[in-house]
Amino acid sequence: MFGTVIIVFREVLEAAIIIGIIAAATRDVPGSRRWLIAGLLAGLVGSAVVASFTDVIGSLASGIGQEIFNAIVLGIAVLMLAWHNIWMASHGAALASSARSVGGDIRDGRRACSVLFLIVGLAVLREGSETVLFLYGIAAAGSGGQSSMLLGGLLGMTLGSAVGYMIYAGLLRVPMRWFFSATSVLVLLLAAGMASQAAHFLIQADLLPSLAAPLWDTSAALPENGLPGILLHSLIGYDARPAGMQIVFYMTALITIVIGMKWANRPRIAIRSTTGAV
Amino acid sequence: MKNILLVALLFPLAAFAADADYTLVISDHRFQPSELIVPSGKKIKLLIVNQDATPEEFESHALNREKVIAGNSKATLYIGPLASGRYPFFGEFHEATATGVIIAR
């Protein structure tokens, strides 16, 4: 049962961390809560569908369909997170000071909400489908002891959600002055970590060269299967043995989004000199 | 229509089964062989055949690889080039029994 708790915890945690950060970051966007819940539900339905088509997806493209699927889902998520951060860099301050009644802003807010829907939906879809498969395996095995395993799954889910909620609640306590910096740095690192993961899948499918594999090995000091490693993996994309190409993707995403945010924030700097969003 | 789709899907399956460098078979939640010796310094195509009815996730921290294989199906992934050494792997969904090691020489 303990093993079940850990596996489900890890899968749920990744999605919960993303949702926690995004929920905090969009707290002032009108209608964001409804879209967030809609994304969550769509993601859950989607993960059941993906789980039931695992064999079909897996056998596509000569057996590397799963990697391509994961890389596409991660790629879309990176684009959405990037868009979100760049949008927040130019609209965040206005939203917080509740100067949001301009027509254009409402239309923009709706676009922000559909991005939110996609980010949450994709996060749940990716992590949820593995959880569904795992729990299905237990249920289908029919070897007894399922109830304790399913209880373990439930416990893992609760623990993972609790961590996500703690991150959300913690972020809401961050003073307004630092709030946008804090959430946008977190979203930035989430996006970079996902870009690195996407590269990881493409290397596994032999669609990208690894460059150097591994570039370094910190598995002895900070193992990926320990709790700090798991948390850092979800938060900043920590990888104990990354390939060189993953670092290339990580840095490219990071730098591109920072440049986009600086660019989006440019007019505001001219009016009043507060430091940029990062 | 569904049959055509199935046939279309089986073609690449047959094709990639033929040119895989190494094969691991999962049955009764165990890997066969549990020790796989591969040459070091070479990229390797690994075919994993899951003969169980339930899905399994091939995972290796040492190889930095993870992949879900549905019940009664096959999947390929690429590993390496590896330095000489031992690279443990396991099936995450049945960690108690599904363990093994890839040895690169």
Cα separation, A20 vs A163, in Å, equals 9
User: Does residue A257 surpass a pLDDT of 70?
Assistant: yes
Interval A162-177 mean pLDDT: 94
Percent of chain A with pLDDT over 70: 87
Cβ B74 vs Cβ B48: under 8 Å: yes
User: Does residue B25 surpass a pLDDT of 60?
Assistant: yes
Taking an 8 Å cut-off on Cβ atoms, the answer to whether B13 and A204 are in contact is no
Nearest to A194 by CA among A118, A80, A87, A86: A80
Report the chain A residue with the minimal C-alpha distance to residue B12.
Answer: A62
User: Does residue A272 surpass a pLDDT of 70?
Assistant: no
Three-state DSSP state, A209: coil
User: How high does pLDDT run on average in chain A?
Assistant: 87
Of A7, A240, A243, the CB nearest to B61: A240
Taking an 8 Å cut-off on Cβ atoms, the answer to whether A134 and B64 are in contact is no
Mutation test of the interface with chain B: which of A8, A10, A52, A66, choosing the one with the most B Cβ atoms within 10 A? A66
The model carries a pTM of 0.85
Confidence of residue A93 (pLDDT cuts 50, 70, 90): low
Interface check B85 vs A, CB under 8 A = no
Chain B residues inside the 8 Å CB shell of A223: 61
Reported as a single tens digit per residue, the pLDDT across A207-230 is 999 998 789 999 999 998 888 999
Report the chain B residue with the minimal C-alpha distance to residue A226.
Answer: B61
Q: Which of A29-33, A35-39, A168-172, A243-247 has the lowest mean pLDDT?
A: A29-33
User: How high does pLDDT run on average in chain B?
Assistant: 85
Taking an 8 Å cut-off on Cβ atoms, the answer to whether B61 and A213 are in contact is no
Chain A residues inside the 8 Å CB shell of B22: none
The DSSP symbol for A60 reads G
**A192, exposed or middle or buried, with CB in 10 Å at 0-12, 13-18, 19+?**
buried
Three-state DSSP state, B15: helix
Interval B71-86 mean pLDDT: 92
ipTM: 0.80
pLDDT of residue A276: 47
